[in-house]
Structure 1
Amino acid sequence: MPDIDKDELIRRFGLQPHPEGGYFRETYRSTARVTRDGAEETRSASTAIYFLLCDGAHSAWHRIQSDEVWHFYAGEPIDVHVIDAHGALFTLRLGNALTHPDAEFQAVVTAGDWFAAECAAPAGVGLVGCTVAPGFEFSEFEMADADALAAAHPQHRALIERLA
């Protein structure tokens, strides 16, 4: 695979810095509206973004209140580290499943789980997409307090602190 020029990707896809790290651009926001159980407000049924990690940047620990499907597009594999509702830590590796047998083209982070992401190769460039349903709203985006998350899950402290 040819080297991927991160500046070309940023320019070509109109990516902007993301608050959690990396670069992104929202590519889709459904006009269909849905409500969550018990909620009065409506939201988009689904949203999608491009998301780029490069230059050693990582996506810091955060969670959202919807399921998020990650899709691999190009570059190096991306490791998505997840701490689920029971405190179990597991890693989803997104990548070209045809050339990286330990990678998947798609992976799901369940609503409410804490997660962070990084390129499997520290100096790598990885382009992925994320689809959220019901749609992503910044009002439901929660950045982790690294100290509180590590206190709740001391067995994962080193990874939590590294990706805080």
Structure 2
Amino acid sequence: MHSQPNAQELINALELEEHVEGGYYRRTFQSDRHPMVETERGQRYLMTSIYYLLTRDSPIGYFHFNQSDIVHYYHLGDAIQYNLISPDGTLKTVVMGSDVVAGQLLQLHVPGGVWKASQIIDGPVGYGLISEAVSPGFDYADMEMSDRQKLTVQFPEHAELIEKMTQG
């Protein structure tokens, strides 16, 4: 039986690279066999998918906004906490992980138009690995990284969380 890989071994084995929102990723799929979908921002793949990894060295996926729906699938490692801010300011906090009896989720749907941030919950493994399926497929033109000041003005009731979960 193999021991669980460390974060760097996983990054190497899955050929992951640093992501602009924090953590590491690699696109693993795009629906090439289907017609492109027409969106307000142009043509998109019907669906794309990535691996996404948070580690002790890169523990936060900073607040960002995507136009597309995203379904997250937990794979292995430590649990990951997600903070989701809806357009009306409602904050939802959930944890993805393997302890489903304790209420952790194996799957999480984040609708397009919701601000999302994630953070690994420090545990014995030192990383948390998920996959994301995005539909219509991911395109950087459909994503907005958070601006701390702008997001705080929009959602002042979440200023402390926004301070923690945005870059500089």
Q: TM-score, normalised by structure 1?
A: 0.91
How far apart in 2 are the matches of 1:104 and 1:148? 30
Does the 8 A contact of 1:56 with 1:122 survive in 2?
no
Does the 8 A contact of 1:4 with 1:125 survive in 2?
no
Deviation of 1:3 (Å)? 5.1
**Per-residue displacement from partner, 1:9-45 (whole Å, max 9, x unpaired)?**
0000000000010000000011121113xx4832100
Task: Report the equivalent of 2:88.
Answer: 86
Matched, 1:138 2:140: yes
Q: Percent identity?
A: 32
Deviation of 1:149 (Å)? 0.5
Runs (5+) with no aligned partner, structure 2? none
Does the 8 A contact of 1:71 with 1:106 survive in 2?
yes
Q: TM-score, normalised by structure 2?
A: 0.89
Q: How does 1:112-123 map to 2 (within 5 A)?
A: 112-121=113-122
Task: Report the equivalent of 2:109.
Answer: 108
Task: Report the equivalent of 1:75.
Answer: 77
**Per-residue displacement from partner, 1:116-136 (whole Å, max 9, x unpaired)?**
100122783100111100100
How far apart in 1 are the matches of 2:109 and 2:84? 10
How far apart in 1 are the matches of 2:83 and 2:123? 15
Task: Report the equivalent of 1:61.
Answer: 63
How far apart in 2 are the matches of 1:42 and 1:161? 34
Number of residue pairs matched? 160
* 72-81 vs 119-128, which moves further: 119-128
**Cα distance change of structure 1 residues 146 and 40 upon mapping to structure 2, 3 Å threshold:** closer
SS at match of 1:8: helix
Q: Which amino acid aligns with 1:108?
A: H
Deviation of 1:4 (Å)? 4.3
Alignment RMSD (CA, Å): 1.7
